[in-house]
Structure 1
Amino acid sequence: MNPRERRAARHQPPTPGGEPGPRRRAAPITVDQVVDAALDVIATEGYEALTMRRLAGALDTGPASLYAHVVNKADLDELLIGRLCAELVLPEPDPATWRDQIRGVCTRIRDQYLTYPGISRAALAMAPTDLEIARVSEGMLAILLTGGVAPQTAAWANDALLLYTAAYCLETSIVRQRATHDDDAWVLDREELRRRLTALPAATFPHTTRHADELTAGEGHDRFDFTLGLMIDGLAHP
């Protein structure tokens, strides 16, 4: 099969009864090895460093050989997000705890994304067909519906929660990357940021200068938890 045919086959349910497909000659590089190598590059160098040429170098092969396993960079992105989704354990939907359940799934996705700096960019603007990505989306939708959220609201909320989680992780990765440069280290220094806000002309920025403490407040993932709570609580009171 050519790469496009293999990609289509990956997005189909397993053969009923677990019957093996036609036997093929073993390839020197497998799709799993390609994904493993890509994740290693991202973990150590960030998502922006991941190119087909860089990946080929990590696998000690030529870029052209990668296209025997993946169709293009977009296909590789879907494989990467699919791998992360495969590691997620989804809860059995419970109407009594659905808010905590959906918050827990988003938190686990967040932690996965942050393990691989910038990888959440791969999840943006994606129309996924990977079965593992679809499994996570299905599980989240089931939790929302079990919680009594109307189907249309649940469908759009599912997308919004995933989008916010990906965007939050991307911004966090960018901030951390910039903080490695001396000139930009202040972006993680809350006191320095507060000082800059309070130094603004009070007549022009009365609210910013007055509430600089509130604008710079928060530790760790406090803002993520706050925003997620707003979104979920809003679903509970349509």
Structure 2
Amino acid sequence: MSPTPEQRRAARHQLDTGSPAPAARRGPSGGRKKPITVDAIVSTAFGIVEREGYEALTMRRVATALETGPSSLYAHLVNKEDLDELLIGRLCAQVELPEPDPAGWRQQIIDVCTGLRDQYLRYPGISRAAFAAAPSNRDTLRVGEGMLAILLAGGIDPQTAAYAIDSLTLYVNAYSLEVSLANRRLNSSDDDWVVSREELLRRFAALPDTFPHTKRYAAELTAGTVHDRFDFTLGLMVDGLPGARREP
């Protein structure tokens, strides 16, 4: 009996599956092609996202890039969601996790979130793959484990720490997706929708008096970079955690 999708996914999460080396393939001209492996599929998927954005990523698109059919991919992956999990896992593997420090836990948790953000921003829109996904990949779980250790070292009780991880990662995912979408539109040929800060200030100044606060505080509403706002929001979220140990 063939293994179920769940069994195939679980097998990949083991440290050593003892799988035989994949067989080499030959192209139409007789030349040798790279064998189909999970690593080859994931690397090809990253290349597609980097060049065309996450919206372009489908199993068929990956198969075409590998000069094979979609059925060849399903010998290694369960479905598109399985591929998404592997993509996010590989990015999480690049995030540095410090040894938890009770005296510096606040900056440590912010640094981990910033590192995850930077990994997502390398590939336009890829954080979308992390939404509504249960973390089962070991590399993804590694980041969650590291964040939990940091928050516990900061004096946060376990339940609050668990909810905080959900909130922080959700914000990082959403922020990264928004920045990717904005950058894509900014770099597109049809950029009439893009409004500079100067243009925003002009439009706010021209608003009727029914918008008194927007007109008066237009400079504040349009100040700073997107990363300034990211830092502000993370700081606000972390400082609001009940029971947190305050840094000296």
TM-score by length of 2: 0.87
Q: Which amino acid aligns with 2:176?
A: C
Does residue 211 in structure 1 map to residue 213 in structure 2? Answer: no
**Counterpart pick for 2:40 among 23, 33, 38:** 33
Q: Which amino acid aligns with 1:10?
A: R
Does residue 222 in structure 1 map to residue 232 in structure 2? Answer: no
Percent identity of the aligned residues? 64
**Structure 2 vs 1, CA of residues 166 and 58 (structure 1 numbering), >3 Å: closer, same or farther?**
same
Task: String of CA shifts for 1:171-202, please: whole Å, max 9, x gaps.
Answer: 00111111123553553622122222222222
Instruction: Give the Cα–Cα distance (whole angstroms) in 2 for the partners of residues 112 and 35 of structure 1.
Output: 15
Instruction: Give the Cα–Cα distance (whole angstroms) in 2 for the partners of residues 224 and 211 of structure 1.
Output: 20
Q: CA offset at residue 88 of structure 1?
A: 1.7
**Contact map agreement 2:155 2:243 (CA 8 A) in 1:** no
| SS of residue matched to 2:215 | helix
**Structure 2 vs 1, CA of residues 64 and 188 (structure 1 numbering), >3 Å: closer, same or farther?**
farther
**Structure 2 vs 1, CA of residues 21 and 153 (structure 1 numbering), >3 Å: closer, same or farther?**
closer
How much is the aligned-residue C-alpha RMSD, in angstroms? 1.9
Structure 2 unaligned spans of 5+: 24-34
| SS of residue matched to 1:65 | helix
Instruction: Give the Cα–Cα distance (whole angstroms) in 2 for the partners of residues 42 and 177 of structure 1.
Output: 12
Instruction: Give the Cα–Cα distance (whole angstroms) in 2 for the partners of residues 127 and 188 of structure 1.
Output: 37
**Structure 2 vs 1, CA of residues 165 and 185 (structure 1 numbering), >3 Å: closer, same or farther?**
farther
Does residue 71 in structure 1 map to residue 78 in structure 2? Answer: yes
**Contact map agreement 1:81 1:122 (CA 8 A) in 2:** yes
**Structure 2 vs 1, CA of residues 214 and 237 (structure 1 numbering), >3 Å: closer, same or farther?**
farther
| SS of residue matched to 2:191 | helix
**Structure 2 vs 1, CA of residues 23 and 102 (structure 1 numbering), >3 Å: closer, same or farther?**
closer
| SS of residue matched to 1:184 | coil
Does residue 177 in structure 1 map to residue 219 in structure 2? Answer: no
Q: Which amino acid aligns with 1:26?
A: P
**Structure 2 vs 1, CA of residues 236 and 33 (structure 1 numbering), >3 Å: closer, same or farther?**
same
Instruction: Give the Cα–Cα distance (whole angstroms) in 2 for the partners of residues 237 and 191 of structure 1.
Output: 43
Which stretch of the first structure deviates more once superposed, 158-167 or 187-196? 187-196
Superposed counterparts of 1:16-55, under 5 Å: 21-24=17-20, 26-27=22-23, 28-55=35-62
Task: String of CA shifts for 1:47-94, please: whole Å, max 9, x gaps.
Answer: 111111211121111122111111111111100000011122210100
Task: String of CA shifts for 1:110-138, please: whole Å, max 9, x gaps.
Answer: 11000001000001111121111011101
**Contact map agreement 2:11 2:17 (CA 8 A) in 1:** no
Task: String of CA shifts for 1:154-175, please: whole Å, max 9, x gaps.
Answer: 1100110100001000000111
Query: Deviating runs (4+, > 4 A) in structure 1?
Result: 20-23
The structure with the greater share of residues assigned to helix is 1
